[in-house]
Structure 1
Amino acid sequence: MISLLRVDDRLIHGQVAVVWSRYLGVNRIVVANDEILNNEVQIMALKMSVPEGIKPFFVSIDKAIGLLNNPKADKLKIMVVVNKPQDALKIAQKVPNIPLINLGNYGRVDSENMSEKKQLSKNIFVTAKDKQILQELLATKIKINVQPVPTDPDIQLADLI
C-alpha cells in the first residue's frame, strides 16, 4: 500500500530517509526515476541514506507503476519518491489509491533558470510548465500538500497556486 508519493528533487536524503520514513512507518522506498538507472554511483550514495529495515528500490517510472499496481504491494508500506512533478503525474494517472502527494523540495537544483521560476513556498520553485503539471495533478483529486517534514504546517497545494 502506498503511504505517500513525494516530489523531491534530491530524491533520498535526511528528510525522506529518516524523518518521513519513520513518521509513516514504511518498509519500502521506491525511487521512481528514469535517469538514475544509469548512474550506479548515485544509486549507491542514495542507498547509504536509507535506514536499516527499509528496503530501497530504484526503478524506471513505468516499472514503478507495474510494481505499485501489483497486488503484493498492498501488503507493504511504501513511500514513492520522484524528482519532478511530471513523474508524479504519470504515476498518479496510472496507480489507484494514492492517499497523498507531498511536495517536499523542488526547483532549486536547476538554479540557472531561477529567473523563470515562481516561488510557491520556501522549498518549491516552479516554471510555467511545472505549474501546468501541478494543475493537472490537482485535477486527479488526490490530496496534494507542500510539507518538507511532518512537523511543518500541512499546506494544501491548491492554496498556493
Structure 2
Amino acid sequence: MVGIVLASHGKFAEGIKESGSMIFGPQEDVAAVVLTPDMGPDDMHQKLLDAISTFNDQEHVLFLVDLWGGTPFNQVSRLISEEGHEDWVAITGLNLPMLVSAYGSRMGAETAVDVMKEIYPEARDGIKVKPEELQPASAAAPAAPAPAAAAVSAIPEGTVLGDGHIHYAYVRIDTRLLHGQVATAWTKQVQPDRILVVSDAVSHDDLRKNMIIQAAPPGVHVHVIPISKLIEVDKDPRFGATKAMVLFETPQDLLRAEEGGVKFPEVCIGSMAATAEKTVINQAIACDEDDVKTLKAIRDNGTHFYVQKVPSDHVDDIWALLKEKNMA
C-alpha cells in the first residue's frame, strides 16, 4: 500500500489526519510530520525520514504538503531529490477532500503517482462556495508576472541608475532563508523587485539553491549569491533603481558583509534554529556565545536589530530577550 506523509507548518497535519480518520476510519502507513517554531530545516528533514521508516513499503510514498515553498515542502523536495526513489511524489495545497480521496484511491492503486493523478482534480474541485450563485464559473487566469528588470550585465559599467545605491527595503536573518512566511507575508509587505539570498554555503549547493528559487513568489526575481557578490553589488551604481529584500542564514554571514563595506541600518531577526549547544531565547530564536558576540559587533557598526517573525507579530527587542537569559 502507498504510504502517505502529511507535512505542515504547526499542528495542521496532525489535525487533518485526525479528521481523515473520523471520516474514513483509522489508516495504516500514514504519518503526520509538523514543523514547530523551534525547528530548523535539518530537523524537519530528519522527522520526515523517521516517518517514512515506519512504513511497510518505503518505495511508494505520497507526500501531501500544506504550502508550496514553505520549509515542509522544501524538505520534502530535498528528500525526493536526494533519496532517488522513483515513486515518491508530492502535492501541495493539502485539504480534507484531498486526504479522503487519497485514502480511497490507494486501496486500488499500485503507485503513488497513480494516487496523485486520481486525487488532484478532486482536491481542486473540493473548493466550493455557498451561496452557489457566488461560485466563480471558472478559475481566474493567473496574473501575468511583473516584467523582468533589465539584466544589469546589459547595462554599460559606470551607468548610474536611480541614486546609484541599491535600496535595502528589508534585511532578515533566518535559518530557513526563503520559506513560506517570507515568500508570502513579507514579500507582500515589502514588495521588493529582487530577493537576494546571501550565503556562501547555499550558493555552492545546487540542490538548496534550486529549492530556494522554486519558493520564489510570482513576479519577484530571486538570486542566491555568495557574500562577495553582495559586496560587489553594493558598490555597483547600476543597481541604484533596485528595491531588494536580503536574507542571511546566520549573523556571522551578515557581519562578513558589513566588514566588506555593506551597511544595513536595520535588520529583522526572524529565526535562528536551536541546537544542543544553543540557549533558546524565544520560540524562533536560539543563540550561543558566538552568536551574541557577532550580534554585538553588528550593533556596534550602527545596525539596529528587531525581532519579528511575520508582519502581524509584535516587535521584540533582541537585547531584552538576551538579558532575560543572562546573555546580553
User: Aligned equivalents of 1:137 and 1:157: distance in 2?
Assistant: 13
* Inter-partner Cα distance in structure 1 for 2:183 and 2:255: 22
Aligned counterpart for 2:215 among listed residues 42, 49, 52: 49
Secondary structure of residue in 1 paired with 2:217: coil
The residue number in structure 1 matching 2:164 is: none
Secondary structure at the residue paired with 1:144? strand
Deviation at 1:12?
A: 0.7
Q: Which structure: greater strand fraction?
A: 1
**TM-score normalised to the size of structure 1?**
0.89
2:170 partner letter: L
- Counterpart of 1:118, as a letter, is T
2:197 pairs with 1:28: no
Q: Where in structure 1 do 4 or more consecutive aligned residues deviate above 3 Å?
A: none
**Partner residue in 2 for 1:148:** 309
Residue of structure 1 equivalent to 2:269: 103
Q: In the alignment, does 2:320 pair up with 1:159?
A: yes
Matched, 1:13 2:171: no
Q: Which amino acid aligns with 2:262?
A: V
Shift, 1:37, TM fit: 2.2
Closer/same/farther in 2, CA of residues 20 and 99 from structure 1, 3 Å limit: farther
Q: Deviations over 1:127-158 (max 9, x none)?
A: 11111111112212222111111111111223
- 1:128 is aligned to 289
Q: Normalising to structure 2: TM-score of the pair?
A: 0.45
Q: For the Cα contact (< 8 Å) 2:197–2:246, is it kept in 1?
A: yes
1:33 positional shift: 0.5
One-letter amino acid of the counterpart of residue 178, structure 2: I
Residue 75 of structure 1 aligns to a residue whose secondary structure is: coil
Q: Matched residues in 1 for 2:320 and 2:180: separation?
A: 27
SS in 1 for 2:200: coil
Larger Rg: 2
Mapping of residues 64-103 of structure 1, within 5 Å: 64-93=230-259, 94-96=261-263, 98-103=264-269
Q: Which residue of 1 aligns with 2:81?
A: none
How much has 1:16 moved relative to structure 2?
1.3
Find the aligned partners of 1:150 and 1:13 in 2 and give their Cα distance: 15
**CA RMSD, 1 decimal:** 1.4
Name which structure has the greater RCO, CA cutoff 8 Å, separation 6+.
1
1:36-88 deviation per Cα after TM superposition (whole angstroms, max 9, x unaligned): 12221211111111111110111101111211232232311101111011111
CA distance in 1, matches of 2:309, 2:236: 29
Structure 2: distance between partners of 1:160 and 1:142: 17
Amino acid at match of 1:81: L
Q: Any unmatched runs of 5+ in structure 2?
A: 1-166, 323-328
Alignment match of 1:37 (pick from 200, 203, 207): 203
Q: Counterparts of 2:229 and 2:258 in 1: how far apart (Å)?
A: 14
Among all aligned residue pairs of Structure 1 and Structure 2, give the percentage whose two residues are the same amino acid.
26
Contact kept in structure 1, 2:196 and 2:223, CA below 8 Å: yes
- List aligned pairs for 1:58-69, cutoff 5 A: 58-69=224-235
- Render the CA deviation track for 1:4-48: whole Å, top value 9, x for unaligned: 221111111011111111101111000111011222121111111
**One-letter code aligned to 1:123:** A
